[in-house]
Structure formats: structure tokens, C-alpha cells
Chains A and B, each alone.
Chain A
């Protein structure tokens, strides 16, 4: 038989064309049953069983493994789902298994025909889930771990797999703020705990650090998100923001598997605010000049105002601009800048297979995404190669290589500036050249879109090489030693050539180029010892010991060239003369960790896990490198208890989980724990003087690890034969000694003029608590129609409990200056003027107390109470009351002891209040999947609620931007409802040529808007060719699909029109809608 089989490929070559497809298929299976075949033939038995295996839909299933239980006898089904097996014994049990289907055992007694139907897997309990330094079955999990399958990630096309996770994992908040191709996402797990440390979770690809952004989404088998400290504590310091473990596909024993995935589509159709132009511009301009404030009578009047009638239009425009206005030369900047549709395409091919000893997986991916700005694109080439070899039964080794090369061209993306910029200009001169003199600080950004004038190009090469060796000397014991080596070469090239924006306006008409190179390389070496054994059959122990050593280095170099004579040279002709300069800098970090862990299971009913990690990091002060991070968790499968027997019919699983653990953060800048001396130069008396100065960070020898303590209580339930799968988690995380770089008071010196020295201090304590819910339901399951839903919900409350030992509060966050740290508020809180709206006509007396007038902003002053028209009292924290008034007699009614004629209140930064926080209160993901025969439809909706954003466009409202010769002239979105004496709006203050942002107290408070939104994020419609049809083409799966992304966005606030709040306030690179069509083929 072996001989025969060997012949088949030869035959194959000789067969005629018609038979070829069938034969090819056989070829495909060849590798698959190479081993099984041998045993198959040798079998001489007392029973011969045969039959057909079919799926739910009655389609025959090829490649199903059929094994006689307890033996090594087995076979697989052929193309028609048929199998034949001979058993040595008369009776026994046949085990049928197939990926994605429930395993089925069938008892036989004597030979005969046994046709089998396998059903799609519905229970996920037996799925293997990756956890820290190991894996467990989902049923044995004790921590809070969310798992997402590869197919859920590829459902939403895109180059960054993490974007597809948005809303899929309760508690993992993901947003994308820029529509730029290749732009990353922001991630935050269970709220902000740290101030200095980034909130990004630890990413591990097959257990080792890797780059998820360039990972081909099609290579992903599954993603596990470890959320609670009992799961992440084994990663010690690195794990405090959660750990995301990406498991990539690997070769499998059996058939050769070829997947081809591609899509093609367009990005574009961004929502852009409609700006005032043409008549609406004129109207606003007139309104800006129609009124003047008569201070004597406290009234807005048209008397003496520059605009009285349309004959004054020329005055308020100025002659030159009026001429342009009359010609109707309004520029639609968005139109000038953005191209209508930008193509995006992706091709991905993977081949995998293997035999019992050696398995391999190879994939290639090419992704090409164009941006909405001309000249903006992102190309990514990546490959993933994986080889696993079992040399001896006790010795296995292998390696994986993940490599990527990215070329990214970036255009000048200043859309928000352009939109608000003067629309009344001529972008081009009469001769067709670009107009470089738009006047009044307006830059003609179109200069950078001329060919060869401007470039900002990245090319990044990354490679991760992860070899390993695993020894299993005795049953249950495994020793794994693995290395993750990372090499990262990032290059950025910038060119501001002759005619570019920088050349024309900033660089004094000198062309400049620069090359920045960042080489980082590092390795992780881990040794993992796992020993699994049973005591008295019912007690299952797994012991794990780990050592983990990390060493990373970073070398940055930068080169600059100026006075470049022609645009041909770009960055290719640095001349090594007086116009060339170079810089370099270096940083490093090392860390070392030891882990010990025990997992214990009693009959799978009582589960227990305890671990401790000892971690050391180089960035901390030399005497405080080390700390310990313990964790413990337990789970109880209630449904396995006898007293739950009554519920067996409808309750498949009920499990209670409780976990506690400590994690740490040491993420301070390298070299920032000790102050030392830097060497530099200064100019003194017009000559160069070499100088020394102290580094910015003042030594704090007491600095220790920031520690988070997390308690997690979870409940998993599965009901009605897996129709309902529910998981609920509640957590409390307290973080102590949060590290923060505190500005040292300047009285002790500064680092540079007006740049304070900093010290890392363990200053603050934060608390996060939240609720997470994941609900998967299978609503309708029939042969032809299926409807499934998935809901994820997460709410988080975040609070700073204390800040330093002193009276400090409301400290501007030096790491992210947009935010202020305030006791009792979330970490990323906005601290600014809280606005009551706009002072209205009739409130003149009240407004005058604050030195303002109707039409100005009404700032909410803490502790201020209105007593009467024009009489206020402010109660300070210590209870003292101060009266503010403009009319003494009126005020004396409340306090007869007042004597000063007036007492006005000056609004200042002292009146700042927390106006919101940037983290959401809750978020909700809702996915519905429908299947009708060969059609599949998925609709994904997402809500993010309660976050405040700082929307830059609001601050671009400048009443005097409409002044005759404003510097620069501005326009505003059409929907901005500003105040005029006849329009009592509360949104924006008075439109008046004499009013400016700096003359209006509270103006900066305008930026803060409720950013809550609902999004119809994604709709995908797919069609798979019937299996019966494609089998003949030797294809296993052939699916065509179309996807629309970001179809509908609804913002809660009326101040956010024509804007996608997910952008979090920015508008320089708007998020796009995306339409793609794609194809998945599996051979």
C-alpha cells in the first residue's frame, strides 16, 4: 500500500485534464494521511466499519479523523466523507473529530455501516486559552481572560489587527483618532491607573514581545486578553495594564492548508464640518461689525458701528478682499486638500502543513493603503514563518520569524488649520502658480503638494526571531527555553525642498532635509519549567517556574542638511560641510523576573492558582530595583456540584471566579532616577562656550515600584445548551505610589530657562472599579438560518484618591499637559473654565460684577452665589464670604458693613474646575451575525459614552477672525451658533470685531465637549460558494464579501456636528468611511 501511494503522484502527472482537479485534491490529502494510511492498511480485524460523515447541513465532510478509542488505529474520511476502518476487536468506540465540530464517540459492536452527523462546536469550554506562561482549557480558567478568535479579527479589514478588537473585549477601550493610513490605535484596559506609564497593555506574540501593528491579521489564531491581576501578575511590572497574548497559526499535522485572502476598496467620504463661505460668510462678517458696546449705557448699539448698510461691506472687507469677495473667490479648503477616494488593497497568502515530527507555517502579506491626502500612503510587506520539529519524544525545537517592512509617505495634514483659515483668498495666481502671499499669517499649504517639493517618509524594518527548545524528560514535566530577539530599524526622511511651505515661510527660503534613524534591538530570554502531576487521581497539580531576562537598547541618530541646491537631492546628498549636522543618543533598559506558580484542580470543580513574581528593573534607583508581586485566584464550578443536578437540563455551566493580585509599574524614563551632569554648549558673547549642566531629573533615592492591587470577581454561566453564554466580572484596582514626574519649584533652579527640573515621586493613589459583561447568544439556529449576537459592556469608575502629602491638587499632568490631576477625579481629567453659557440681555448688572457684558461668556465660579441683580457673594473653602457688586446700595441690603463703591470679581485660572474626563464612563459593543444558507451578514455597533473631548475646532471660533485685517482671518463652521444681540445663543459668545479669544474670560473652556457617540461601525455581507460546487474545484472554502466601515456616527452633543467624536478632538486627519470587497479562499 505504501508503494501504491507513492505511485499516485506519478499517476497524477499522467492523468488527463478532466481528472486533474480530483487528483489535485487527492494530492492535497496526500501529506495528511501519510501516517494514518500505514496503520490503516496493516489493520487486520474482527470488525470492519464504514460509513459517511456529514455536517449539520447534510454536506459530506472530508478529512474527518476517525480513531478507535484506546488504540492507534485510525483513518480519515475521503472526499465524499466516506471512511472504512477495521478493528482488531469486535466491539469498541469510534471517535470522530474535526476542527470546529463537536467530537463524537460512537459505540460499535461488530462491523457494519455507521453514518455519522457531526455538529458545529457550540461549547467553548474545551477551547484552549493562552494564559501567562502556559495554557488552560477555558473551563479551568480562574482569572478574567477574554478570548477572541482569528476570524473575528479578519471580519473587519484593516492593517492593524487591534482595531478589529474595538468593542469585542469588555474592559479594553480602543479608539482610533486619526484616519491616516497605518495610524495606530489607543488602548486602555480597565481605566487609567498610572500617570507616567502608558496605558498600553503588554503585547506578546506566541509568548514573546512582538509587534502587533505589522502582524498580518490573517495569521492570528486567537487573541487572549488577560485583564485581572491574578492573570497578569506573572508578568510582574510589565503586566499592570493587562496582557494581550496573540497566538499565531501554526502548521498542523495532516493536510496541507493554503489560504488566500484579499480585499480591495476605498477609504474616504470623511465627514467634514461645513464652513462659512459665500453669503453666510458675509452675514457673519456683517454681524461682527453691526454692533458696538456702549459702556456708558451698558448696551449693544448699532450707533457708531462700522457696518450700517450693505454700502459698508467694502469697509469691513477692505478693498482688496472685497474685490475677491465680489468675484466669489471662496476656497473650499477641504476640497483642495482631500482626494475623493483613496484605494486600499490587501493580499495575504498562507501555507501550512506538516507531519508528526515537523510542522511549518508560512505566510506573506502585502497591504497598500492610500490616505485621503495626495501623496499619503502606507505599504506593508510582512511574513511569518514558523517551524516546529519534534526531534525525540522528549525533545522539541523550533523557531518563528516575524518580519515586516513598512514604507509610509506622509503628507502635510493640517486640515483643521486649513478649514478655519481665511476662505477668501486665491490659492493660485493668474498665471496658475501657487499664491504664496495669502497674507496675514496664512500659509498656502498646497505648496507641499507640488511634486518633489516635500517628503516625509518612513521606512521601518522589523524582525523578531524566536527560537526555542523544549525538553520533556519525564511525563508531565516540560522545560522550555526560548529567546525572543527583536531588531528594529526605523528610518524617517524629511525633505522641505525649494518651494515647500517651510521653505517659503519658515526656513528663510532654505531647503532642508533630515534623516532620523532609530535602531533598537533587544532580547528576552525565558526559561519555563512546567510540571503537571496528579495525586490520588483527583488532585491535579501544575507547577510552573520561570526566569525571564530582558535587555533592550536604543540608539538614535539624526542628520540634518540645509542649503540644498536642488529638489533632486532630497536627502540623498548630505555634503558633510558647515550645513550638515548630526546627533546621536542612547538609552537602555534591563529587567529580570522570576516566577513561581501552582495550579491546582480538584476534579475540575475546585480550581486554585497562586503565583509570585520577583521583578527587577534597571530604570529604578539602584537600591530599589527589586520587588515582589504575588497573586492568587480560585474558581468553583458550581454546576458540577450534586446539589445542582436539578439544573442540568438548562444550565450547562456555572462558575464563580475570585482573584487577587499585585502588579507593578516601573515605567520611568531610563536614566531619570539619578541626576548627573550633561555636556553641552552655549553662546556667550557671540562665541561658543562648552558648558555642563545638571540633567533634568533630580535624584529620588526613595523611588520605588508603583504597585497595583486588583481584586476580581467573575461569574461565568452557560445556559440552554449553550444558547446563552454569559460572563460578568467586577473588579477593584487600587494603585499605590503612582509614579509621577513632579516639577521641582523653580526657586531651586530650573533645567533650562522656564523648564523645570523634575523628580519622579511615588505621589498618588488611584482607584478603578468597574463592571464588565460579555453575553453571547445564539438566537435562532435552524438549518438554513442562524442568528447570533454578542454584547460586550464595560463601565469603569476611576478616581485619584490622593496626591502627594501636601496641599497640592489640580496639578497639570506634565506627561500629557491636556490633563490635570485632581483628587477625586479620573486621571485624564480636563481642568478649565466651566461655562454657564453666555450672559444674556437683561443680565447686564450680573455680568458687570464680573467686568463683562451680555454676549460674553458666563463663567461658573466655584462658591459664587447670586443674591440679587448685580450682587454676588463668594464663599471660600474656609467659610469666609466676600461680596461682589457694582451697586453699593443693593449690596448693603445683604451686608450693611460694605463701604467700597464697587467690588468686581476677576475670573482667573483659580476658578478652573474639572470639566470632564477623557475616559468613557461606559462602552458597549453589539454584534449581530446572520447566516442564511450561503449568505452571512454581520452588523457591528459600538457606543462609547461619558467621555469629554477637547475639540480644537471650538477654540478656532475667533470673533475677531472676521475683522478687516485679522491676523489671520478665519472662518467658522456653519452650525456654530454664536451670540448676537438678537440671537440669545448659549453656545458661543458674541461675534464682534473688537472681541478676541483673549479678551473673553473663560474662552478656553469652550473647547470641552461631551464626546459620547454611537457608531454603526461595520457591516459585512458575505457569500460562500456551496461546498458541493467548490469541492470539485479542489477548494474548501470560497467566500466573497463586502464591508462598509464607519457608516453612521451619531454624537450626543449638539456642538459636534459633522464630526466623528472618536477622533477625540483632533481633525487633522479625519477618520474615513471604508468600503471594501474581499475574497477568502481556502484550498
Chain B
């Protein structure tokens, strides 16, 4: 009995042992198997160490340096920040709130959106330049010339980004290497330090950049870019009172400008003989006059979908009035531009923010200077889609599918009364000016609306009556009394009642748009009130529309978003070098007006409506020039082109010029702080020494 129990218990023990052994073994197995590492497996990650040491990898990385340009820095934010708050632009009717900090220094604080974006865009790409420059010395292969050339591009871009930052913000941190340790207590560098760094980068670029673009890629900068930017940076630095040795930056600026002007062929630089060519559609992608371009997207190329910027530019629409608000959408305006399906000629103009001051308008002597109609649209028209219908039939997309008759307005008595058109025109027709074709470029860019112009006086509505155009935004100037292709006209030259009577279109004298009683400086547009003297009162929404960025050509549209345009935007062009030369000349040795005038004349000459207009009698030819002439010439030539705020800053001209031409901004302008932009709140909130870093006085 006892034996049996023992036996049993031994068996049991053995069993238990076996089981326990198995269990233990199992547990160990578990531990063994599962003790495989906790390392991550990331198949989409690459090692910087391996990839960026080869020339091809490094070159690929280098392209990032350009990301900050088109669609980021050169877009709405910098577009507004660099131009407004000056003597050129003011609020349109009913928009005295958007950008009021930038436009009129009203309630200007560190939380301004565009300012913060410019800060982020410029600095964002500087890192890529730094990485490119840093890694260039560690490459295991690659041709030395190629490497130098690509490093020169990176240094050029770094210089450009810093030139924007130092102009806008003054003392900023000068970061030249990409340190894995990102200090949260950044310090500012002095303005001379920043300028000398920019200049040293530009000198390197000038020496090492090719005359023609690397890889024949027109986005890439060349020698002339470096020289041009160097002139601009010297001029800007001159405003800070800087000098190199005994030479002031003004002297340097003039030297560099001269060097570029005098050796244009050496550097592949040129100026078009006719101003109309500068913004001609055909010259957008490969602009001979451009020194430095933010290259847009090609909707026909697969690369369209690889856009790396922030957003495609919609800058143009800020400079256009809201036609719907002025005309309504039921009579003479056939295709409301605010509407969902929008307008295939103007795009979607629903912002109405930036209108020219009276000063800017008065800068142009439109009688001789064709820059007026090549810069401002003042005659407004309907468009048809005869080409689109001809090529696609019912497949023509809205809003390209407008028939000729649908685009034609027959004036009724009610319309004539409403718009103050003389009753003799009742029954008259207003025909479309432009006609669009529709081509589907690619799946995401979708439709291109390719414009042609109806010949004046031909009303068949047949494709044969269409002619090609160099620039669809350009309309005949002055608009003939009998032109029946436009429904409204803002006349620069005041028209008399008799002049108006002869015209079947709505006619407004631009002078009548300003409320000069309230603001003699000409920075206030009238409001929509019964007493504004306009018929109807809603015409107070109108103003001349600056069209430089309204790319209206095959490849310039995003047919799925009418607010965005794809054309190249010039960051600097040759004309500016002449202007810098003239400006610098006047700053050196108390100014040489005759020499300065000689720099300005080439710009004025090519702007003449007729070759014979270039003489001193018309005033198109200058014999001597003052600083005011330079300011005016800058305005005529470059208005809107990202320069005016910097120009007033370096000439310390805000106080005087705002007082004279932009009273709206002048009353709030505080010279003790407004010469610099506020340091963005979002940035200050990311660092640990915000108080010490400071806001620039905001």
C-alpha cells in the first residue's frame, strides 16, 4: 500500500517534473523567439550618410534650395509685404481691414500672417543651402566644376533669402551650418555681419556660376543673377550706411550695376527693345530680360504633380476688382468672376484688396507711355468660348463653353439708365473681346483656357475672325469710342460728358474714383454710397487692375482652380539694374542728375508708344533726373514687382512719400518701429529667450 502510494507519488512527481520541464522549455522558447530586437524597420527611409555623399544624391538634394521660391516666398505673402505700405498701393473700397497692418500700419502686431510666412519661407530654404554647401566638401565623386557651380547656386540662394530677411527684419540670426543641435536660445547677428556674408556668398556665386543655366534648366541661376542681386544688395545695404573699406555701398552698387549694364552680352543679359515684350505671354517661360526667375509649373509635364512649394500663386487676384460687386451678374457682365464656375478670361477675381494710389496712376503719362496698359487693365470685357466649342463640342467644360451670342450683350433702356449710358445706344450690342479654347493639360492641372482676340468690327462669331495675341490682358489704348468689345472703361484721361455719350460702354473717369475731399493724398477710394456721384454707386468697387501676374496663356492656368496661375514670376529683371544705377548715382557725391537720367532713358525709350515720342518735348526723354524721377521711374517700370517697400526703406523715404501720396498709411506710420517688421509671434513662442530676442519694437 505504502509502496503503491510512493510509486504513484513518484510517478506524479515525474509527471509534474516533465510537465514543468516542458513548460519551462516552452517559456524559454518564448523568450528566445520574442527576444528579437525592438528595432524599427522603415523601408522608406534612407541613410543620409550613404545617399548624400555621392554626387548624384547630393545634386538631388541641392534642388531643394529652390523650393522656397515659386509658390512660397514669391507669392501672395511676400508679394504683399514687399509692395504695400508704400506710396503705390492702397485699399480698394470696402477692404480696409485685410492687410491693414501691412497696408496702413494699423494694428500691426507680431501675429501678422504674411510676415510670419516670409520668415518661415526664407529661413526654411536656407537650411537646404547650408546642407548643400556643407556636404559639397565630402563628396566621393563628381566633377569639380559641376560641384562648384551647384554650390554657387546654393550660395546665391542663401544670399537671396538672407537679403529678404535682413531687409524686412534687420538683425536676424545668421545661420550658415546645419547643426544637429538646434539651440532654443538663438541670437541675432548685426546688420554689417549679415551683409558681408551675403556679399561674400554672391561674389562666390558670381565667380562660379555659368553664364547659361546648369543642365539648361531655366530655373537655375546664372552669373548675371549673381551680379544683378549683388547690385541690389549693395544698394539695400547702402541704406544701412554700410561701406567696404573706403567705398560706400552706393559706390559698390553703381560699380556692379555698371559692370552688368556695360557687359550685358558677356553675361547673357539683355533688355527687350519694347516694354510690351517684357510681359508678353510668349516670353514668360524664357524671359531674356529676367536675371532671376521663380520658375512656375508646367501643367503639361508630369512634374506638375511634384510641386513642393506651399501653394501655387494667386497673387494676381489681389490686384483685381470684384467685377460682380461693381456690375452685378445679370446684365452687362455675362460671366460673374466670383461665381463657382467662374471666368475663363479673368480667372476668379474675388479679393479686391490692392488698388493703385492716385500717385501711381499719375506716374504714367499714358499718352506716350505704353507701360500703362501693359501694367493696368482698365477696359473690361466679356469673353466667348467659340474655339472650345469648336474643338470639344458639348464636351467643352464650363466656363469655357460660352457661345458667341451668349457672350454678346444687347443694351436695353434699363441698362443704359442704370449705367449712365446714353439712350442712343439702346439696342446696340456689346460683343466679347476674347475667345478661349479649352485643352485638358493633365489630370490635376486640368484645363487650359487659351485666349485669342476678336478682331474689332467683325461680328460673325466665327473662328476666322480671331487673331492671336501677345498678351490677352492687353487692350487697345486709348479705348476707341466705337470699340464694341468692352462693356466698361476706366479712363485715365478725364472724359467729358460728350465723350462719354458717344460710347456704348460704361465709362468712368479714374479721377472720379478717388475721394479727394476726404484724402487729398489720393489714397482713398470712394465708398458705395448714394452720394458718391457714380452711376450706379456700386462702380466705386472699380480700380485699375494690375495684370503683371495674371498669366493668361496656354500653360498658365489651373483649370480646376481659377485663382491659381502657373507662369514664371521674375524676381529680378534687367530694368532694375538701370534703376539701381540711377539711384546710386544720385546718392554719390551729392548726385549727378544727367548721368542718372542717362540710366533712366533706355527704360523710357522702349516704353514709348511711338518711336518718335522719345524726345524731351513729350517728356519721355529726360535730360537730368532727381530722386523723385527715380522713384517715379521705379513705379512705372516695376510696380508690383516685390521692390517698393525696400526702396523706400533704403532711401528713408516712408515719412515723406507716405505723407505726400498715401495719407492712409502715413497717419499710423511710426518711424521708430515700422522700418523693421515684427519678429513673428509663432517663432518667439518656439524659443526660450523670446524676451531677449525681442520683437523689433512691436
Q: Interface residues, chain A, CB within 8 Å of chain B? A: 292, 304, 306, 318-320, 394, 436-443, 471, 473-474, 479, 481, 504-510, 525, 527, 529, 547, 549, 562-563, 578-579, 581, 585-586, 588-592, 616-619, 622, 625, 670-671, 673-674, 676-695, 698-699, 742-750, 752-754, 756, 759, 804-808, 810-811, 851, 906-910, 964-965, 967, 994, 996, 998-999, 1001
Contact = CB atoms under 8 A, between A and B. Distances in A.
B561 interface: yes
B41 A588 contact: yes
Contact of B51 (A592, A677, A681): A677
B689 A807 contact: yes
A804 B301 CA distance: 47
B341 to A, nearest CB: 6
B336 interface: yes
A808 B688 contact: yes
B23 A479 contact: yes
Contacts of A676: 42, 45-48
Nearest to A510: B446
A433 to B, nearest CB: 13
B599 to A, nearest CB: 32
B535 to A, nearest CB: 13
Nearest to A968: B338
B496 interface: no
10 contacts: A592-B38, A625-B38, A682-B307, A682-B308, A684-B219, A686-B303, A747-B126, A749-B127, A906-B106, A998-B98
A581 B691 CA distance: 49
A684 B44 contact: no
Contacts of B109: 906, 908-910
A578 B442 CA distance: 9
B242 interface: no
A791 to B, nearest CB: 44
Interface in B39-88: 39-48, 51-52, 57, 60-61, 63-64, 66-68, 71-72
B464 interface: no
Contact of A442 (B46, B72, B110, B340): B340
A806 B688 contact: yes
Contacts of B125: 749, 753
A759 to B, nearest CB: 8
B66 A547 contact: no
A670 B213 CA distance: 41
Given A473-B16, A807-B690, A677 B47 contact: yes
A1000 to B, nearest CB: 8
A547 B31 contact: yes
Contacts of A306: 528-530, 537
Interface of B is mostly: loop
Nearest to B528: A306
Interface stretch (B3-11, B114-122, B623-631, B643-651): B114-122
Contacts of B128: 693, 749
B111 interface: yes
A509 B558 CA distance: 12
Given A676-B47, A686-B295, A753-B67, 6 more contacts: A440-B338, A588-B41, A589-B40, A682-B67, A692-B57, A693-B61
Looking at A525, A743, A752, the one whose CB has the most chain B CB atoms below 10 A away is: A752
Contact of B184 (A563, A617, A745): A745
Given A910-B109, A910-B110, A692 B298 contact: no
B123 interface: yes
Contact of B324 (A440, A693, A699, A748): A440
A928 B117 CA distance: 58
Contacts of A671: 40, 42, 45
Interface of B: 15-16, 19-20, 23, 26-27, 30-31, 34-35, 38-48, 51-52, 57, 60-61, 63-64, 66-68, 71-72, 94, 96-98, 106-111, 117, 119-121, 123-128, 130, 172-173, 175, 178-180, 182, 184-186, 213, 217-220, 285, 295-298, 301-310, 322, 324-325, 328-330, 336, 338-341, 350, 397-398, 440, 442-444, 446-447, 528-531, 537-538, 558-561, 681, 683, 685-691
Contact of B40 (A618, A681, A686, A687): A618
Nearest to B20: A473
A471 B681 contact: no
B186 A686 contact: no
A808 B685 CA distance: 6
Nearest to A590: B38
Contacts of A695: 45
A527 B30 contact: yes
A964 B442 CA distance: 37
Nearest to B537: A306
Nearest to A512: B443
A682 B329 contact: no
Complex A-B, nearest 3 residue pairs according to Cβ-Cβ distance, in ascending order: A749-B127, A806-B688, A508-B446
B686 A504 contact: no
B443 A394 contact: no
Contacts of A805: 688
A321 B48 CA distance: 61
B164 to A, nearest CB: 14
A670 B40 CA distance: 8
Contact of A686 (B67, B96, B178, B297): B297
A579 B444 CA distance: 9
Contacts of B110: 908-910
Given A481-B26, A547-B31, A691-B61, A754 B310 contact: yes
Given A750-B120, A753-B72, A906-B107, A437 B341 contact: yes
B308 A683 contact: yes
A956 B61 CA distance: 44
B124 to A, nearest CB: 3
B340 A547 contact: no
Contacts of B27: 527, 529, 547
Contact of B60 (A549, A563, A691, A908): A691
A585 B45 CA distance: 11
A677 B71 CA distance: 24
A547 B31 CA distance: 8
Contacts of A320: 328-330
A1004 to B, nearest CB: 11
Contact of A691 (B41, B64, B107, B560): B64
Looking at B125, B184, B322, the one whose CB has the most chain A CB atoms below 10 A away is: B184
A438 B339 CA distance: 8
B531 A689 contact: no
Looking at A306, A563, A689, A999, the one whose CB has the most chain B CB atoms below 10 A away is: A689
Contacts of B219: 684-686
A619 B529 CA distance: 64
Contacts of A589: 40
Looking at B34, B124, B128, B681, the one whose CB has the most chain A CB atoms below 10 A away is: B124
A687 B217 contact: yes
Contact of A749 (B66, B178, B308): B178
B39 A622 contact: yes
Given A585-B44, A677-B47, A691 B120 contact: no
Contacts of B285: 686
B44 A683 contact: no
A692 B52 contact: yes
Contacts of A679: 44, 46
Contact of A319 (B94, B303, B328): B328
Contact of B322 (A505, A686, A967, A994): A967
A306 B537 CA distance: 10
Given A394-B19, A473-B19, A749 B126 contact: yes
Given A907-B107, A999-B97, A678 B340 contact: no
B686 A506 contact: no
Contact of B398 (A509, A747, A964): A509
Contacts of A678: 44-46
B172 to A, nearest CB: 8
Contacts of A996: 97
Given A439-B329, A684-B217, A505 B186 contact: no
A810 B531 CA distance: 49
